[in-house]
Amino acid sequence: MSSPIPESDWKLFKTVREQAFNRFTTKVLEDCRALCDHDGRPPAERFDALSRLTRQRDKDIGRLFGHSSRSSATLALMVLRAEGLVDDQDVARFSPETQAASRPVGDT
């Protein structure tokens, strides 16, 4: 587990995390809508696919948003950045130390 982030970054993280959650759930709802509106499959098949999708997205929510402590905020921010749920504009608001510590592996 990493060190706790500065208090100002922690307060900002909570806001950015909520925005990321809204982005994620909006995308999930769009995916569900597209699945339901698809004409090519019978309703029962679409329902089964929708059930599988929602189960997977529930697991994703736990993986992406299950870290809610200050001591794990840097790791959580890194995961959200890697998933594209936090953009560069959001990241620029954090301290340089938090920006560097939360850079996804492989990013330059």
Supply φ then ψ for residue 9, to 5 degrees. -70, -35
What local confidence, expressed as pLDDT, does residue 40 receive?
83
Q: How far does the chain reach from its first CA to its final CA, in angstroms?
A: 23
pLDDT, tens digit, 9 for 90 and up, residues 74-106: 999 999 999 999 999 999 999 999 999 999 987
pLDDT value at 66 more than 70: yes
Report how far residue 50's alpha carbon sits from residue 69's, in angstroms, rounded to the nearest whole number.
32
pLDDT, tens digit, 9 for 90 and up, residues 3-24: 689 999 999 999 999 999 999 9
pLDDT value at 1 more than 60: no
DSSP class per residue in 46-108? HHHHHHHHHHHHHHHHHHHH---SGGGHHHHHHHHHHTT-S-HHHHTTS-HHHHHHTPPTT--
